[in-house]
Chains A and B, each alone.
Chain A
Amino acid sequence: MTTKRLAAGLSVAWCLVVAGAFLDLDPDRTLAASPLLAGARSLVVALVALVACTGAGGALLARLSPGSLEVEAGWPRALATGLAAWGLLSLPWSLLFGVRSCPLLLVVLAAGWLFRPPVRLPRPGRVGLAALGLALVPALLGVLAPATSTDEIYYHVALPSRMLGSGHLAGGFLLPNGSRPLALHLPFAALVALGGEGATRAFCLLVGASTLVLVHRRARAWWGPAAGWMAPALLVGSFTFLGQAGVAGNDLVAGFLVLVAADALVEGAWLVPAALAAGGALAVKYTAAAPLLPLFLWAAASARRPRAVLRVLAAGGVAVLWVMPWWGWNVAGGLHPLFPYAGWGEVEGMVYSFPEKFGLGRDLAGWILLPWNAVMRAETDSTVFLGRVNPAFLALAPVAAVVAVRGDRRARALAFTAAGGCLLWAIGPQWLRYLLPSLPPAALACAAGLARLPAVGRWAAWLAWAVGIPANTGPVLAEAVEQAPVALGHESEEDYRARRIPGWTAVRWIRDETPPDARVALLFAWQASPLEREWILGSVEDHVPSRYLLATTGDRALDVLAGEGAEWLLVGTPRFLRKAYPFLSPEVLHAQFEAPVQAMTRLLEARAELVFEDGRYAVWHLPPATEAGRGEREKPPASGYSDRP
Chain B
Amino acid sequence: MLGVLGLLACQEAPQVEPPDLEVAAGAVPLGILAVSDLEPAVGETVRITAPYAGPWPVDLGWRGVDADRGITAHVVPSVPGPHEVSAGGIRTVLQVQAAANRWIPSVEVDLRPLPALAAPCKDRRYPRLVGHWAVGCGVEGWVDRLVDLATREVIVLDGGGRTPGVGTPGMLLALDERPARLWTLPAQVHASIPNPCAHPPVAPPALAGNEVAITTRHRVVRFRAGEAVARLQGADPLPWYPPALAGGFMAWVDGREREVTGTDVWAWDGGGKPVPVAREPGDQRHVAGSGHWLGWIDDRGVVVEDLVSGERSTVRAASGFRAGLTLWGPVACWEDRAGGSVDVACSDGLTIRGDQDQGWPSRWGPWLLLRVDGEVRLATARSLVLEDDDPRARPTAPRVAGGHGGAHRQGEVVWTFDWPAAGWCVDRWEADSTQGRWAPAGPLAVGEDVEVRHPGGDAVRLRPCGSEDA
Q: Which residues of A contact B (CB under 8 A)?
A: 13, 15-17, 19-24, 29, 31-34, 36-37, 489-493, 495, 505, 508-509, 512-513, 515, 602, 605-615, 623, 627, 632-645
Determine whether the beta carbon of B7 is less than 8 Å from that of A640. no
Determine whether the beta carbon of B13 is less than 8 Å from that of A610. no
Q: How many A-B residue pairs have CB under 8 A?
A: 147
**A19's closest neighbor in chain B, by CB?**
B3
Determine whether the beta carbon of B12 is less than 8 Å from that of A32. yes
State which of B319, B345, B438, B469 has its C-beta within 8 Å of the C-beta of A609: B319
Minimum CB–CB distance from B388 to chain A (whole Å) comes to 14
Contacts of B461 in A (CB 8 A): 643
- What are 22 A-B contacts with C-beta separation under 8 Å? A13-B2, A16-B3, A17-B2, A19-B3, A23-B7, A23-B10, A24-B7, A32-B12, A33-B8, A489-B12, A509-B240, A513-B255, A609-B322, A615-B122, A633-B318, A635-B338, A639-B349, A640-B106, A641-B104, A642-B106, A643-B404, A645-B435
**B302's closest neighbor in chain A, by CB?**
A636
What are the 10 A-B residue pairs with the smallest beta carbon separation, nearest first?
Answer: A20-B6, A16-B3, A641-B103, A20-B3, A492-B13, A33-B10, A612-B240, A639-B106, A634-B316, A610-B322
Determine whether the beta carbon of B104 is less than 8 Å from that of A639. yes
Minimum CB–CB distance from B19 to chain A (whole Å) comes to 15
**A25's closest neighbor in chain B, by CB?**
B6
**B6's closest neighbor in chain A, by CB?**
A20
Say whether, besides A605-B359, A639-B351, A645-B436, A33 and B3 are in contact (CB < 8 Å). Answer: no
Whole-angstrom distance between the alpha carbons of A610 and B240 in the complex? 10
Interface-centre pick from A15, A492, A636, A641 (highest chain B CB count, 10 A): A636
Query: What 1/0 flags go to B374-395 for Cβ under 8 Å of A?
Result: 0000000000010000000000
Q: Which residues of B contact A (CB under 8 A)?
A: 1-15, 103-106, 122, 124, 238-240, 255, 258-259, 263, 285, 299-300, 315-323, 336-342, 345, 349, 351, 357, 359, 385, 404-405, 435-438, 461, 469
Whole-angstrom distance between the alpha carbons of A605 and B106 in the complex? 25
Determine whether the beta carbon of B337 is less than 8 Å from that of A606. yes
Say whether, besides A20-B2, A605-B359, A643 and B385 are in contact (CB < 8 Å). Answer: yes
**A26's closest neighbor in chain B, by CB?**
B10
Determine whether the beta carbon of A606 is less than 8 Å from that of B341. yes
Determine whether the beta carbon of A29 is less than 8 Å from that of B11. yes
Contacts of A21 in B (CB 8 A): 6
Contacts of B11 in A (CB 8 A): 29, 32
Minimum CB–CB distance from B237 to chain A (whole Å) comes to 11
Determine whether the beta carbon of A32 is less than 8 Å from that of B104. no
Determine whether the beta carbon of A489 is less than 8 Å from that of B345. no
Minimum CB–CB distance from B4 to chain A (whole Å) comes to 7
Whole-angstrom distance between the alpha carbons of A29 and B13 in the complex? 10
Say whether, besides A633-B318, A636-B336, A492 and B14 are in contact (CB < 8 Å). Answer: yes
Say whether, besides A20-B2, A489-B13, A636 and B345 are in contact (CB < 8 Å). Answer: yes
Minimum CB–CB distance from A594 to chain B (whole Å) comes to 14
Determine whether the beta carbon of B319 is less than 8 Å from that of A623. yes
**B324's closest neighbor in chain A, by CB?**
A610
**A20's closest neighbor in chain B, by CB?**
B6
Determine whether the beta carbon of A24 is less than 8 Å from that of B103. no
Determine whether the beta carbon of B104 is less than 8 Å from that of A515. no
Say whether, besides A32-B11, A37-B7, A632 and B104 are in contact (CB < 8 Å). Answer: no
Contacts of B12 in A (CB 8 A): 32-34, 489
**B7's closest neighbor in chain A, by CB?**
A33
Determine whether the beta carbon of A613 is less than 8 Å from that of B240. yes
State which of B9, B240, B337, B437 has its C-beta within 8 Å of the C-beta of A33: B9
Contacts of B322 in A (CB 8 A): 605, 609-610
Determine whether the beta carbon of B240 is less than 8 Å from that of A633. no
Say whether, besides A489-B10, A612-B239, A606 and B320 are in contact (CB < 8 Å). Answer: yes
Minimum CB–CB distance from A611 to chain B (whole Å) comes to 7
**New A-B pairs, 9, CB < 8 Å, besides A23-B6, A632-B318, A635-B338:** A16-B3, A23-B7, A24-B9, A24-B10, A32-B10, A492-B15, A505-B239, A605-B342, A643-B438
Whole-angstrom distance between the alpha carbons of A528 and B357 in the complex? 31
**A608's closest neighbor in chain B, by CB?**
B320
Contacts of B340 in A (CB 8 A): 606
Contacts of B240 in A (CB 8 A): 509, 611-614
Determine whether the beta carbon of A17 is less than 8 Å from that of B435. no
Whole-angstrom distance between the alpha carbons of A602 and B341 in the complex? 9
Minimum CB–CB distance from B158 to chain A (whole Å) comes to 25
Whole-angstrom distance between the alpha carbons of A414 and B338 in the complex? 69
State which of A489, A605, A634 has its C-beta within 8 Å of the C-beta of B320: A605
Whole-angstrom distance between the alpha carbons of A532 and B385 in the complex? 52
**A33's closest neighbor in chain B, by CB?**
B10
Minimum CB–CB distance from A319 to chain B (whole Å) comes to 46
Minimum CB–CB distance from B105 to chain A (whole Å) comes to 5
Whole-angstrom distance between the alpha carbons of A460 and B124 in the complex? 58
Whole-angstrom distance between the alpha carbons of A31 and B122 in the complex? 39
**A40's closest neighbor in chain B, by CB?**
B7
Whole-angstrom distance between the alpha carbons of A490 and B12 in the complex? 8
Whole-angstrom distance between the alpha carbons of A185 and B184 in the complex? 58
Contacts of B263 in A (CB 8 A): 513
Determine whether the beta carbon of B437 is less than 8 Å from that of A645. yes
